Amino acid sequence: MSFRDAIANGRGRFKASLMLKLPTEPLESARREMERRFATTRLPQPNQIDIDAIHRKFATIAERDSGWDTISKAEWRIAPFVFSHPSPLLSENDRFRDHYERFLSANRSTRIIKILIHVYLRDFSPTQKGTIWSSSLIRQRLNDPDSNSLGWWRGQQQNLGLFSIEDGPTGVANAVLSSDIPAGRTLSEIGFSGELASGSFVRVAYTAALRTVASRKANSANFTAMLIRLIKWSSTGMPVRHDQWRLGITFEDQRVDLIQALMLPWRTGIQPSHEQKKSILDFFNSHFGDPRINRAHWAGVAEWVVSILLRWLAEGTLEQFFQILDRHAPEEHWRWRRPFWMAFIRRQVVDEAWMVLGPEPMRDAQASFKSGVPAGRLEGAPDKCHSVLLMKIAGLTIAEWSHNGKCRIWLSEQKAPRLYRNRYLRPELIDNDVKIVEHYIDTGIAHHGSEFGTWQGQVAAFIRKRTAVDVRQHEYMN
């Protein structure tokens, strides 16, 4: 009786119940890892001199259509490395292609097809005839049931359509965007290790991921998770040096496409959740800086993107300003001013906002906000705690002074104070403004009758008269 039979029948010295039960999941994981490693093409690659020489040889023979028998098996084996070599492109030469296909048919070595797979993934170019031809050759070999050692790649073709020109990049992109593990690990488990991790196929897959997130409805299932995974995939984790244009993103030449893809879901006016907005703004600030004061890294980005970002940043600016002024201005001053201006924020009509802080609030802000304070410094005010909130609403420039200062409005861009400067003098924040109430002698408006909505109603009416922004009393009076 065999050992197997003894166990099956409960005989012999060992009982089935005493057999060690090994966990299946770690074993399956180990099996897949070994399979992946054997599938990965860790190849000694020819140097550029050898590639140039082999290319010249193939090109000369293909042009004359003679001397094919002088090409060694070793040269045929590494032929994929010259497929995309320019002038001429051998992968578009019918004679060369015919002889290479004969070589593949006569040689069933999996090493040969692994080289083809490696070069295909490294140099992937979906519109190039050579890539399309390589795709066909690889899929033909994977369909061969006798190619057992290509089982890993056959599985990737079945699961992701990896070697389909149309479906492969999207399949890989979706795998990354739906995985709970880091993008680099997901790519490695598919087979993109070494130079393949930053090769052309992964680059095209990344572009497909940008398109997927950009086209997805922001309120669809799993959108937030996909958004965050794309953001993580987009960051290298390396130190960022804005002054040296080392932005720390995965593909720096796709900077504009990345920024616009992350913002496109919000172009229709849908508002992001707090988590979504914070994830995007934190990523942008870390890698590209504040677009209000660091425009270089936002060059080429569409104006609609910047406009949305400025509105998002305006909301944060108001919240920051009120938080700072809570410690430097009487509470009764902001009890009414805060809800009034936040009503405009809720309406999404505050296009831009900028803080101008006096010396004391500036020191406090620098100590409180470790990530930096996007604000200008106020000089020449009678009190070191005086500060100003500058805003733009539908073409109007508005200055809301702290303490007993007035609210002032400018109609003309030329006469209004410019936002995003580092330094402001008091006169430029009070001069050349217009009357808010026509029968008043002075320009601007003092904050009288706050508890009755007096000044609020007059400012809201002025804004309503000159813009399409119509904020009503019930939106700011409790």
pLDDT tens for each residue of 399-436: 999 988 999 999 999 999 999 999 999 999 999 999 99
User: What predicted TM-score, i.e. pTM, was given to this entire model?
Assistant: 0.85
Contacts 24+ apart (CB under 8 A), 157-164: 160/190, 162/190, 162/191, 163/117, 163/120, 163/135, 163/138, 163/139, 164/135, 164/139
**pLDDT at 404 (0 to 100):** 87
Measured distance CA(409)–CA(469) in Å, rounded: 15
Q: Is 90 exceeded by the pLDDT of residue 259?
A: yes
- Locate 436 and state its tokens: 């808010």
Measured distance CA(14)–CA(11) in Å, rounded: 7
Is residue 87 within 8 Å of 51, Cβ to Cβ?
no
| Beta bridge partners of residue 398, listed in sequence order | 391, 409
Count of alpha carbons within 13 angstroms of residue 127, beta-carbon side: 1
pLDDT tens for each residue of 120-162: 999 999 999 889 999 999 999 998 877 778 888 999 999 999 9
**pLDDT at 243 (0 to 100):** 60
pLDDT tens for each residue of 318-376: 999 998 888 887 777 788 999 999 999 999 999 999 999 999 999 988 888 766 789 99
DSSP sequence for 291-341: TTT-GGGGTT--HHHHHHHHHHHHHHHHHHHHHHHTTTS-HHHHHHHHHHH
Q: Is 80 exceeded by the pLDDT of residue 242?
A: no
Count CB atoms within 10 A of the CB of residue 91: 22
Which secondary-structure segment (H or E) carries 353? strand 350-357
Measured distance CA(439)–CA(125) in Å, rounded: 70
Measured distance CA(144)–CA(138) in Å, rounded: 10
Integer-rounded Cα Rg, in Å, for the chain is 33
- Locate 21 and state its tokens: 């039960």
Among 87, 97, 77, 92, smallest CA distance to 52 is for 87
**pLDDT at 240 (0 to 100):** 66
Mean pLDDT, the chain, whole residue set: 88
Measured distance CA(347)–CA(345) in Å, rounded: 5
Count CB atoms within 10 A of the CB of residue 165: 18
Q: Is 141 strand, coil or helix?
A: helix
- Locate 116 and state its tokens: 């083809």
Domain boundaries, the chain: 3-39, 48-166, 207-301, 311-475
Count CB atoms within 10 A of the CB of residue 386: 24
Is residue 249 within 8 Å of 235, Cβ to Cβ?
yes
Contacts 24+ apart (CB under 8 A), 164-172: 164/135, 164/139, 165/126, 165/131, 165/132, 165/135, 166/126, 168/201, 168/205, 169/124, 169/126, 169/201, 169/204, 169/205, 169/207, 169/208, 170/205, 170/208, 170/212, 172/201, 172/202, 172/205, 172/208
Q: Which of 31-35, 107-111, 222-226 has the lowest mean pLDDT?
A: 31-35
Measured distance CA(190)–CA(1) in Å, rounded: 44
What is the mean pLDDT of the segment spanning 179-208? 95
In angstroms, how far is CA 377 from the centroid of its own chain? 33
